Structure 1
Amino acid sequence: MSGLCLLVALTLSNIGSAKSQNYHEVLRMPLSSFMGPDRFQYGCLSVPLKSDEYIVDFQPHSPPGGVHHMALYSCEEPYERQSVWECIDPKHICKDNAKKSALFAWNLGAPGWTLPAYTGINTGKSSKYLIFQIHGRTDLKEYHMDKYASVTLEFTAERPPLDTVLKVYGIGGYIPANTLGFTTDVACPWHINISAPIIGYALHTHDYGVATSAYLIRNGTWIEIGRVDPRYAMLTYDIADRELHVHPGDIVATRCTYNNHRTTDVQMGFRHSDEMCNLLLHYAVPHSYADQTKMTQCSKNAQEFHWEDVFDNIPPLASDVSGDTDQNRYLKTHHLAKKV
């Protein structure tokens, strides 16, 4: 791991250096971290993060057959001080998870995301740490040893009019054995007392998911945020031009639909053999609200919560990925293969 230590040291020397204009930094993690008898399932590395700057662009990179997921967090203190550590347990990312902020997530094959010019992701009022997390694979080949999983970030010291923050929606429980069309639902009231424009969103499952959807529910009316086939790579869809706002009193709701042909249940969890159901909702607020909203989460249990028990007039297309969706429009103009 000596090469890795050197690489991390070089990264540490560069990140957050003072520059008057926008600048780019690259975070890298060798795929060798996920090979051999001591391989990680999730690997984390930390780098110092300069205060009161903004991240305005994420460009992840991974070779074919590389890593499953990448994610970026900020925290006041990393869970470990060593160069790279195992962090499949979400409590092992930051020492104080109550002050952890999720910034961005990606999976293999997806493009990056450039935030709208009027917004950015603030690094905080005091110096913190940026945590780069990788979910590796168990089927990496030797010829990948010289490749890297990396992300290029663009920083600026200029404060934009609005701060973009992230709210994560998720599911616990399990997918029953021998079940087709099983749905998991989550819904939570909007958590702050101001309206906020939705800048972008991403929807995600693992291998058993066949449809995911997200909605705003306003006075009984369902407003579609997006529907995707999660068997494609997870894009962050930029919908700033739709001028879709979430208002106090709204409910944000997500549904994932699964086919489980196995004779055993599939648990929700963080391993690749587990399942997930996530909506990552990026929205923009005035700077004074940003600290109040960071790393807010909404979660439900697949066996205990169902839309049908709470809502009327559930959209019939909630488990249908056809039609004029952000994903289908993207697929018409860009090459994007299904996940393997």
Structure 2
Amino acid sequence: MVTLKTFLFYREREGVSKGSRNDYDRTLKQGPKEGFRASDDFGFEAQSLKKAAHHILLFGCEEPGSDEETWDCGEMNTDGKGQSTPCAGWPRILYAWAMNAPPLDLPKDVGFEIGGATRIRHLVLQIHYASVTPFEDGSTDNSGLTLKVTDAPQRYKAGTYFMGADGKIPAKSKVHLETACSYDEEPRLFPFAFRVHAHSLGEVISGYRIQEGEEWTEIGKQDPQLPQMFYPIEEKGLVIQAGDVLAARCTMNNYKDKTVMIGPTMSDEMCNFYMMYFTDSPHLPENDICFNGAGFKWKDYFENIPDKEASELPAKQEETDEKPTEMKMDSMEKDES
């Protein structure tokens, strides 16, 4: 018999500054002392309304970035004056949510491993509040994540690989922000879901595997104005292995009269692509973050760039007011070659 345990990151949000329209907050919880793994019943479910929390990130840390229960933390893994990073040192992104995305269930036999002998001793939740207007009447916020975990061993370890790009979008212009990194580690990665994230200027975000500097295989692409959920990867049997390159592009359309920079606030922009994967290796890759600065361009490094395909969607998809249905990933059968 397997006993499912639920960790509910859920608390009354107090002390939100009325003067700040964008607020990053981290809620800290101690990880389990014994090892837990995710089962096919394992998943992530956010508790938030889009008008309050714009997006939520869950980090696995050896040590948290602060001893406080909550702290100001800037954006992603950066810090600044009066701020601390989510993790002190090594961070691992486990999950990301935005735009009223539905719950996510993992495939059978796939799970994120936390606690025990792993490097994940703490779970740290980052919440980016789009606006503090809902709290101005004294209301509190219950934004958070519900996690179900089990102590039953799972066949494959899961992870999330993050790609992001820095840069600026000049006024009244359409530009591409791009990033790419060589994957040089031993574990083979089998991607099964992807997620994109931008603010109001993002039109299309796409991710690719590149082999030999010229052979491009799409991991996924999506309109970031739709619910920012993890979508299933259509390319079955896709494998990332040492020597491959992982790349992402954000097509941004700035209709405003001023230049917009990549940054942490709602008046800034973001260019993020998340790839959720499993591996048959006993350990995950040491590095699962790829970020390039302003000025990085695919054309300076690669050939046969799928320029049109990377920047356009097959057909315009309509966003509805209804909450999308719960996402359940199919059972994954990896290529044994």
State whether residues 201 and 269 of structure 2, in contact with CA within 8 Å, keep that contact through their aligned partners in structure 1: yes
Structure-1 separation of matches of 2:106 and 2:238: 16
Q: Residue in 2 aligned with 1:242? A: 236
Any idea what SS the aligned residue of 1:289 has? coil
State whether residues 167 and 294 of structure 1, in contact with CA within 8 Å, keep that contact through their aligned partners in structure 2: no
Q: Residue in 1 aligned with 2:246? A: 252
Q: Residue in 1 aligned with 2:194? A: 201
> Which has more strand, going by share of residues?
1
Deviation larger for 140-149 or 49-58: 140-149
Q: Residue in 2 aligned with 1:231? A: 225
State whether residues 99 and 226 of structure 2, in contact with CA within 8 Å, keep that contact through their aligned partners in structure 1: no
Alignment of 1:117-266 (within 5 A): 117-124=108-115, 125=117, 128-142=121-135, 145-179=139-173, 181-219=174-212, 220-239=214-233, 242-266=236-260
Provide Cα deviations, 1:93-127, integer angstroms capped at 9, x if missing partner.
34522x21111111131112111111111114157
State whether residues 186 and 299 of structure 1, in contact with CA within 8 Å, keep that contact through their aligned partners in structure 2: yes
Deviation at 1:310, TM superposition (A): 2.2
State whether residues 197 and 245 of structure 1, in contact with CA within 8 Å, keep that contact through their aligned partners in structure 2: yes
Deviation at 1:136, TM superposition (A): 0.9
Please identify runs of 4+ aligned residues in structure 1 that moved more than 6 A.
none
Structure-1 separation of matches of 2:158 and 2:234: 11
Give the CA RMSD over aligned residues.
2.8
Q: Residue in 1 aligned with 2:43? A: 57
State whether residues 22 and 265 of structure 2, in contact with CA within 8 Å, keep that contact through their aligned partners in structure 1: no
State whether residues 22 and 155 of structure 1, in contact with CA within 8 Å, keep that contact through their aligned partners in structure 2: yes
Letter in 2 for 1:160: Q
Structure-2 separation of matches of 1:235 and 1:38: 27
Q: Residue in 1 aligned with 2:28? A: 46
Deviation at 1:86, TM superposition (A): 1.2
Deviation at 1:178, TM superposition (A): 2.6
State whether residues 207 and 221 of structure 2, in contact with CA within 8 Å, keep that contact through their aligned partners in structure 1: yes
Letter in 2 for 1:52: G
Structure-1 separation of matches of 2:207 and 2:294: 16
Q: TM-score, normalised by structure 2?
A: 0.82
In percent, how many aligned pairs have the same letter? 26
Q: Residue in 2 aligned with 1:11? A: none
Q: TM-score, normalised by structure 1?
A: 0.82
**Are positions 1:28 and 2:14 aligned together?**
no
Structure-2 separation of matches of 1:38 and 1:178: 28
Deviation at 1:144, TM superposition (A): 8.5
Aligned pair partner of 2:59 in 69, 73, 86: 73
In structure 2, stretches of 5+ residues that fail to align are 325-337
Any idea what SS the aligned residue of 1:201 has? strand
Alpha carbons of 1:37 and 1:74: their partners in 2 closer, same or farther (altered >3 Å)? same
In structure 1, stretches of 5+ residues that fail to align are 1-18
